[in-house]
């Protein structure tokens, strides 16, 4: 469960590289206990925002507060309470998994004894691979080691930048389960960036969508995705008869709603069986019914552009 304590406060964040505006106006809040989805198409400014939050990039303007403190003045205090993977999980390839974890633990101000390292490697599913050099690890194994690295100093907040990119389907499921374990078993607050809405929907409780460096919408995932009108596509055998039956029941159809033998209707979920029954009563055969949520449709349009 998320609390009312704000862990991350991003206000009007702007980052310009000369004439290029990577982030134009991003604002969002993350609360303790959230699995927070940070969603946007490629190039939306997600990574730049995350890098700014981790002091890898200095912002052009805007306010960044983590754990109630300003990042510019309390950098080390803030970073000591964060574990992160930024884009790819890269490690020292010539060192073993254990040595890599020891190196990053030392820099995080903790001593990683062998027992602790083995326990964390076990948690991420890399038991028995502690002595292996990272050069021999697959991308999925590096992701797991990346998550192990984020946990080595037991941080309160974990930031994962596109953690499932480049993974096979099983790898994606494994990482997703690991993230849920972080929240459920270790009570971590997780910020997770992705360009895949379904991924965020499956694990996040709150989310923000950004595009072209600007915040589009933020809020609870269930409210944003489920508490809204749907776009329902009815595939029928007789489109004219279907339109006529809708018109007779005071349902107006515009030109954009007709796509071949498909009718796209903006209706609430409870009205789907009503419309279906209406078609059946008027001898219109329905071959299929597909639903899309407005936000999903909007997001897909963003990605496809």
Partner 1 sequence: MFWKSTYNEFIKIAAKPRSYIGIAAITLIVGIILFAMRLDGMMYISFITAPFEQSLSFEGNILNGNLMAFIILQMLIIHIPLLIAFVTGDLISGEGAMGTIRLLLTKPISRTSILLSKYLAGCAYTLVVLLWMGFMAIFIGKLLFGTGDLMVLKSDGLIILQESDISWRFLYGFVVAYLALVMIATLSLTLSCFSENSIGPIVSTMGIIILFTIIGTLDVPMFDHIRPYLFTTHMAAWRSFFEDPLPIEQITQSIVVLLVHIVSLLGIAIYKFNKKDILS
Pairing relationship of beta strands 286-293 and 230-236 according to DSSP bridges: antiparallel
Q: Is the dihedral of CA 103, 150, 199, 12 positive or negative?
A: negative
CB of 37 to partner 1, least distance (A): 21
CB of 84 to partner 1, least distance (A): 5
What CA–CA distance (Å, rounded) separates 64 from 188?
20
Q: Does 98 bind partner 1 (CB under 8 A)?
A: no
Which stretches does DSSP call E strand in the chain? 6-17, 20-31, 35-39, 61-66, 69-70, 82-85, 157-161, 189-194, 206-211, 214-220, 230-236, 258-259, 262-267, 286-293
Q: What track of x and - describes contact with partner 1 for positions 215 through 254 (by CB under 8 A)? A: ----------------------------------------
| 106/186 with CB nearer partner 1 | 106
Among 12, 29, 63, 103, indicate the residue that binds partner 1 (CB under 8 A).
103
Burial class (CB in 10 A: 0-12, 13-18, 19+), 55: middle
Q: What track of x and - describes contact with partner 1 for positions 106 through 135 (by CB under 8 A)? A: xxxx--------------------------
CB of 222 to partner 1, least distance (A): 31
CB of 99 to partner 1, least distance (A): 7
Among 43, 61, 70, 93, indicate the residue that binds partner 1 (CB under 8 A).
93
| 56/274 with CB nearer partner 1 | 56
Length of the chain measured in residues:
305
Q: Does 54 bind partner 1 (CB under 8 A)?
A: yes
CB of 91 to partner 1, least distance (A): 6
Q: What is the DSSP string of 185-228?
A: HH--EEEEEES-HHHHHHH-SEEEEEETTEEEEEEEHHHHHHSS
3-state secondary structure of 232: strand
Which residues of this protein are in contact with partner 1, per CB under 8 A? Answer: 51, 54-58, 75-80, 82, 84, 86-88, 90-95, 99, 103-104, 106-109, 149
């Amino acid at each position: 469960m998320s609390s009312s304590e704000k862990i991350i406060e991003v206000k009007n964040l702007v980052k310009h590289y000369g004439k290029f505006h990577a982030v134009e106006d991003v604002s969002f809040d993350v609360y303790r206990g959230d699995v927070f989805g940070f969603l946007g198409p490629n190039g939306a400014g997600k990574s730049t925002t995350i890098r700014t939050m981790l002091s890898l990039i200095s912002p052009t303007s805007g306010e960044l507060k983590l754990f109630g403190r300003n990042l510019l003045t309390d950098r080390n205090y803030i970073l000591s309470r964060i574990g992160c993977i930024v884009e790819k999980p890269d490690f020292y390839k010539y060192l073993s998994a254990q040595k890599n974890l020891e190196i990053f633990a030392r820099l995080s101000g903790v001593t990683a004894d062998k027992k602790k390292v083995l326990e964390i490697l076990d948690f991420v599913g890399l038991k028995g691979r502690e002595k292996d050099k990272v050069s021999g690890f697959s991308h999925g194994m590096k992701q797991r080691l990346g998550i192990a690295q984020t946990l080595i100093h037991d941080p309160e907040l974990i930031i994962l930048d596109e953690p499932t990119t480049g993974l096979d389907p099983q790898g994606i499921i494994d990482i997703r389960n690991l993230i849920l374990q972080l929240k459920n078993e270790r009570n971590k607050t997780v910020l997770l960036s992705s360009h895949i809405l379904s991924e965020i929907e499956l694990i996040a409780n709150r989310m923000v969508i950004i595009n072209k460096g600007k915040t589009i919408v933020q809020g609870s995932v269930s409210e944003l995705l489920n508490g809204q009108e749907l776009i329902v596509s009815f595939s029928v055998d007789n489109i004219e008869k279907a339109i006529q039956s809708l018109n007779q029941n005071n349902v107006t159809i515009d030109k954009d709603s007709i796509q071949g033998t498909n009718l796209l209707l903006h209706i609430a979920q409870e009205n789907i069986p009503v419309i279906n029954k209406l078609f059946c009563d008027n001898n219109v055969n329905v071959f299929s019914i597909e639903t899309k949520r407005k936000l999903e449709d909007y997001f897909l349009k963003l990605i496809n552009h």
